[in-house]
């Protein structure tokens, strides 16, 4: 357990390097389970969720080696299911939501997999129904077993799958399972986030036939055997835009590199609408101190819409905008919890229902003791502490480490004053 003590009121200035995307790294690590060949993954963030995912693979028999600070070599040749039900392995699965990504590849490789209910951030109900409906379409049988599930399939066979929602992890699980199914699989209402596209590119490199047949529709031609892959994790757009908000709110002058240009243009449009001045300089995004921020309306949507993971940083941004902003996040009913923490700091916010909040600004924020409720909320509250007058203490700050590599140290290099203490 960690506590972050933040002394607010200091401008951020300088250059910050953006790490690899958590949401891209974890499915690529799981993807290695489909093959017996060595896989290389570059630009891997050194974050808690990645470390736990690697521990999970090691418990299954994968050989893991760091070639340098951010490059992984995974040899999955000796993977078995022998330790899947060990208490230590089950504890790892329960500790992170991304562990659900091992279901598709292990089912495809071994014909059976048993896991407990995966854990992760408490941001609302996230049932696995979409995952299991897709796998059942491929011929799998799913049974509830105590605190988890057993999924079996003597033979996976291609099918037309219509996902009931734009689920990123269900799309990835389905992709991985279908890559070794016999015949052709079509996935409709498929998520198409950049990290999903990275999985499709890597599957092609491994030897599967994968193509997009229009927006949100994937066609996969399965093969009996897949080779290895060599992939570079895309820059983390969520981290990049969180730093943008931090630079804006501290009236800073910051260059963010390498910025993931061409992925979330809708967020750049929202920045411009709010009055934030940004410039493109090669691979960098340059944030220039703004004069005034204007209230806005925000609706989170599946990609290429506004991402739910950026709803909370923009909720914080709304506290400093002139007028009343409406933020609507229809996906998770627990995602607005951070607003109660911001209200403790002085924010003027009214939560209309679990999915909508009205924020009126600008209002000064004052440091106090708050708690990191989930990964994205924690990063948002960290930025709030940079803006607030006085000192802010964030409890359960270890949650932030799940997705942001040494974020306190990197912000300190820009001029922030953050101290970490173990609870």
Question: How far is it, in rounded angstroms, from Cα 329 to Cα 219?
Answer: 30
Question: How far is it, in rounded angstroms, from Cα 12 to Cα 66?
Answer: 32
Residue carrying structure tokens 């896991």 = 115
pLDDT of residue 423: 66
| Contact between residue 117 and residue 147 where contact means Cβ atoms under 8 Å apart | yes
Task: Name the residues annotated as catalytic.
Answer: 121
Q: What angle do CA 51, 305, 210 make, to 5 degrees?
A: 65
In this structure, the number of other CB atoms found within 10 A of the CB of residue 17 comes to 12
* Fold classification of 2-19+235-422 (topology level): UDP-n-acetylglucosamine1-carboxyvinyl-transferase; Chain (3.65.10)
| Contact between residue 300 and residue 306 where contact means Cβ atoms under 8 Å apart | yes
pLDDT of residue 153: 94
Domain ranges of the chain: 2-19+235-422, 22-232
- Among the listed residues 97, 102, 113, the one whose alpha carbon sits nearest the alpha carbon of residue 76: 102
pLDDT of residue 331: 82
Q: Please give the chain's pLDDT, 423 residues, in tens.
A: 789 999 999 999 999 999 999 999 999 999 999 999 999 999 999 999 999 999 999 999 999 999 999 999 999 999 999 999 899 999 889 888 889 999 999 999 999 999 988 865 544 445 788 999 999 999 999 999 888 899 999 899 999 999 999 999 999 999 999 999 999 999 999 999 999 999 999 999 999 999 999 889 999 999 999 999 999 999 999 999 999 999 999 999 999 999 999 999 999 999 999 999 999 999 999 999 877 999 999 999 999 999 999 999 999 999 999 999 999 999 877 789 999 999 999 999 999 999 999 999 999 999 999 999 899 999 999 999 999 999 999 999 999 999 999 999 999 999 999 999 986
CATH (one of 3.65.10.10, 3.40.50.1860, 1.10.1740.10, 3.40.50.2300) for 22-232: 3.65.10.10
In this structure, the number of other CB atoms found within 10 A of the CB of residue 63 comes to 14
Q: Which residues, at least 6 apart from 91, have a Cβ–Cβ distance to it below 8 Å?
A: none
User: Model pTM?
Assistant: 0.94
Q: Which residues, at least 6 apart from 339, have a Cβ–Cβ distance to it below 8 Å?
A: 315, 347, 349, 351, 357, 359
Question: How far is it, in rounded angstroms, from Cα 278 to Cα 256?
Answer: 11
Q: Is the peptide bond before 359 cis (omega within 30 degrees of 0)?
A: no
3-state secondary structure 51-119: HHHHHHHHHHCCEEEEEECCEEEEECCCCCCCCCCCHHHHHHHHCCHHHHHHHHHHHHHHCEEEEECCC
The secondary structure of residue 226, as a DSSP letter, is -
In this structure, the number of other CB atoms found within 10 A of the CB of residue 20 comes to 24
| Contact between residue 172 and residue 27 where contact means Cβ atoms under 8 Å apart | yes
Which parts of 127-183 are beta strand (E)? 141-145, 148-152, 160-162
Do domains 2-19+235-422 and 22-232 share one topology? The answer is: yes
The secondary structure of residue 233, as a DSSP letter, is P
Q: Which residues, at least 6 apart from 335, have a Cβ–Cβ distance to it below 8 Å?
A: 123, 124, 308, 311, 312, 329, 374, 376, 377
């Amino acid at each position: 357990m960690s506590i972050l003590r933040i002394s607010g009121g200091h401008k951020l200035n300088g250059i910050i390097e953006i790490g690899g995307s958590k949401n891209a790294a974890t499915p690529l690590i799981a993807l290695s389970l489909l093959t017996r060949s060595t896989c290389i993954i570059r630009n891997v963030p050194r974050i808690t969720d990645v470390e736990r995912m690697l521990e999970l693979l090691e418990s299954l028999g994968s050989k893991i080696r760091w070639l340098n600070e951010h490059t992984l070599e995974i040899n999955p040749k000796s993977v078995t299911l022998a330790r899947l039900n060990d208490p230590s392995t089950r504890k790892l699965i329960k500790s992170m939501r991304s562990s659900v990504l091992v279901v598709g590849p292990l089912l495809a490789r071994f014909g059976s997999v048993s896991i407990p209910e995966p854990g992760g951030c408490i941001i609302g109900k996230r049932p696995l129904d979409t995952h299991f409906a897709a796998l059942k379409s491929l011929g799998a049988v799913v049974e509830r077993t105590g605190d988890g599930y057993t999924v079996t399939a003597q033979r996976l066979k291609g099918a037309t799958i219509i996902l009931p929602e734009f689920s990123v992890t269900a799309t990835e699980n389905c992709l991985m399972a279908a890559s070794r199914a016999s015949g052709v699989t079509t996935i409709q209402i498929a998520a198409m986030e950049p990290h999903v596209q990275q999985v499709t590119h890597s599957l092609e490199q491994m030897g599967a036939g994968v193509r997009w047949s229009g927006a949100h529709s994937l066609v996969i031609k399965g093969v009996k055997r897949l080779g290895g892959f060599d992939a570079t994790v895309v820059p983390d757009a969520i981290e990049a835009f969180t730093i943008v908000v931090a630079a804006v709110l501290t009236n800073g002058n910051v260059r963010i590199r390498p910025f993931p240009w061409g992925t979330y243009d809708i967020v750049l449009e929202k920045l411009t609408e709010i009055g934030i001045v940004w410039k493109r300089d090669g691979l960098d995004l340059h944030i220039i101190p703004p004069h005034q921020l204007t209230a806005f309306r925000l609706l989170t949507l599946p990609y290429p819409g506004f991402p739910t993971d950026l709803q909370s940083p923009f909720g914080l941004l709304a506290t400093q905008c002139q007028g009343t902003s409406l933020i609507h996040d229809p996906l998770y009913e627990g995602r607005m919890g951070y607003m109660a923490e911001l209200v403790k700091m002085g924010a003027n916010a009214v939560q209309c229902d679990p999915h909508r909040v009205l924020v009126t600004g600008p209002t000064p924020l004052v440091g106090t003791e708050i708690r990191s409720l989930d990964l994205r909320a924690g990063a948002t509250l960290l930025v709030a502490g940079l803006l607030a007058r006085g000192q802010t203490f964030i409890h359960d700050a270890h949650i932030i480490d799940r997705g942001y590599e040494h974020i306190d140290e990197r912000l300190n290099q820009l001029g922030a004053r953050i101290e970490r203490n173990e609870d």
